[in-house]
Structure 1
Amino acid sequence: MSELEQFREIFTSCNRKYWDMLDTLKSISKSTDDLNDQDKSNLTQYFNLCAEEYLYYKKYIIPSDVWNSWSIGMKSYITSDERIKEYWLEEVSTDSYYGIDKALKIHKCNK
């Protein structure tokens, strides 16, 4: 498969996965309730997509301009809601997301 075909396939797949979960993510971020198990499962699915995209970037399949755009969106979403951010920090502490936590540089704020 040519590099362009590979990029197009991965880019399309990642964007489709994101759009498929967008309504659910919006619903979670609009809620003020504590995250329930289903919310956490949906967020974990999103975090896995983010990690997958990061892995493709690290393997030089996704160009840096695409990664930069995606990572801005990730940071914005993850930090826009303290509940989501706290769950993100809990999840990435397991070291199971290919090091994306270091790339996004989202840290707990000390008050």
Structure 2
Amino acid sequence: MKTNRSLAKFLSRNKTPISIYAAAIAITLIVPFLFNGNFLASQLGVITLSTSLFLGYLNYQHTQDRLFKDLFKEFNERYNALSDQFPRLEKEYTPEVKLSDIGDDDLKLIISYLNLCAEEYFWFHRGRLDIGAWESWKSGMSTWAKLPVVRVVFEDEVATWTTAYYADFNEFFKELL
């Protein structure tokens, strides 16, 4: 039963490349009958090329899936290591918090979180993250961005982020504040 569902998902996900591959093979096999010629070498060439392109596409897709899995796993592990501290930060720091009120460990924790968010944003915009995972992470970012202590650290940090890597993230995160 699971194999049938997996096959159905595979076929659904790859309708277009499978259709193109099947059409190329069909055309290659039909053309000699239409023109009464001997196209065996051409047919084998087209079939080989089509098969190579199709398998290359599947390999590319597999590589993208593996990259997403690795990023998903790493980002979730890093978030899990940080997330237990956020309820404490919410209780410990008042809405009037100043940068000087924030302990060094908490400052490092929030900077690590902001770096994680920036990396997730970067990889999403590079097309390496699934939209569902991104929407979930974005929702979490929105929740934690509302903490005054996170806002204060972000505003201080953004002053030192001058690279293009952070530029778009800065604007994105400001909207969450």
Aligned-partner residue type, residue 101 of structure 1: N
Aligned-residue offset at 1:16:
0.7
1:40 offset after TM fit, Å? 0.6
Cα distance in 2, alignment partners of residues 64 and 92 from structure 1: 26
Q: Are 1:78 and 2:145 counterparts? A: yes
Stretches of 4+ aligned residues off by more than 6 angstroms: none
Q: Deviations over 1:5-60 (max 9, x none)?
A: 11011101100110011122332222137311211111001111111111111111
Q: Tell me, what secondary structure is at the counterpart of 2:84?
A: helix
Distance 2:137 2:107 in 1: 21
Indicate the SS of the match to 1:60.
coil
- Unaligned residue ranges in structure 2 (runs of 5+): 1-61, 95-100
Pairing partner for 1:45 from 112, 122, 125: 112
Mapping 1:53-92, distance limit 5 Å: 53-79=120-146, 81-92=147-158
Q: 1:32 aligns with which of 64, 85, 93?
A: 93
1:54-105 deviations in Å (ceiling 9; x for gaps): 11111110123322221121121111x2222121122123235622121231
Query: Cα–Cα, structure 1 residues 72 and 93, in superposed 2: closer, same or farther, change >3 Å?
Result: farther
| 2:75–2:116 CA contact under 8 A, matched in 1 | yes
Greater CA radius of gyration, 1 or 2?
2
2: distance between equivalents of 1:106 and 1:20?
22
Distance 2:125 2:159 in 1: 20
Q: Give the count of matched residue pairs.
A: 106
Contact 1:78 1:84 in 2 (8 A): yes
Residue 100 of structure 1: aligned partner: 169
C-alpha RMSD of the superposition: 2.0
Percent same amino acid among aligned pairs?
25
TM-score by length of 2: 0.54
Identify the structure with bigger relative contact order (alpha carbons < 8 Å, sequence gap 6+).
1
* Paired residue type of 2:137: W
Aligned 8 A contact 1:25 1:42 in 2: no
Q: Is the CA contact 2:75–2:120 (under 8 Å) kept in the aligned structure 1?
A: yes
TM-score, normalised to structure 1, is 0.81
Structure with greater helix share of residues: 2
